[in-house]
Amino acid sequence: MKVFDADPAQLGRFFAEQGRRVLSFLGYSDSGYEDPAAMLDHAGRVLDGFETRSTLVNIGATPGGIGAVYELAQRRGFMTTGIVSTQAREMGVALSPFVEVVFFVADASWGGLVAGSAQLSPTSQAIVDHSDVIVAIGGGFAARDELDAALRAGKNARFIAAEMNHRVALAGAARKGLPPPSDFRGAAGERFGA
């Protein structure tokens, strides 16, 4: 695995040098999926539509949730990259063993919109800017904001509904002193789901 700190210009040069279409997957990370096998089935069907030699698979570099797609993509012969906030390094979050090249983007948040604005955080902006195709399989606020920005920018982007892990969502609400959720579609599902 190669790991770099990168600004937008460096990211642009790297992806241009690869000469491949960038397919980015968005979704739940640590909150995981209620049905991980179904998520991987969805991802597999998406990957079926792309050539391994002309496409690289990009996700958020960590192994949880949507990060499980890295192993699937690598087994099929896709080059794998990750764009992730420097928050991951600062908090000691593990990187997927199936990602070949990781770019840390200086960011005070994990992604999504900058608090109190309509502007994407640096990490989310980098993902949108350097993706040719974006597929969100479920997802929280960051996935919602990135998919929304990608669609506004005219990118080839789509949403596949998937529920977050119910147990994890319930435990998270309890930890925060919030009422237990009854809707597990995530912020992306609320925005783009049926």
DSSP element (H, E) containing 103: strand 101-105
pLDDT of residue 194: 62
What pLDDT is stored for residue 193 in this prediction?
Answer: 77
- The whole-number pLDDT of residue 40 equals 98
Judged by DSSP in three states, 139 sits in: coil
Residue 163 DSSP symbol? P
Radius of gyration of the chain (CA): 16
What is the CATH class of 2-192?
alpha beta
* The predicted structure's pLDDT at residue 8: 85
- Quick one: how far is CA 102 from the chain centroid? 13
- CA–CA separation, 147 and 194 (whole Å): 16
Residue 35 CB neighbour total at 10 angstroms: 13
Give dist(CA 160, CA 56) in Å, integer: 20
Length of the chain: 194
Residue-range domain boundaries for the chain: 2-192
Residues 46-100 pLDDT 10s: 999 999 999 999 999 999 999 999 999 999 999 999 999 999 999 999 999 999 9
The segments of the chain whose pLDDT lies below 50 read: none
Amino acid (1-letter code) at residue 146: E
Q: Whose CA is closest to 155, among 29, 18, 26?
A: 26
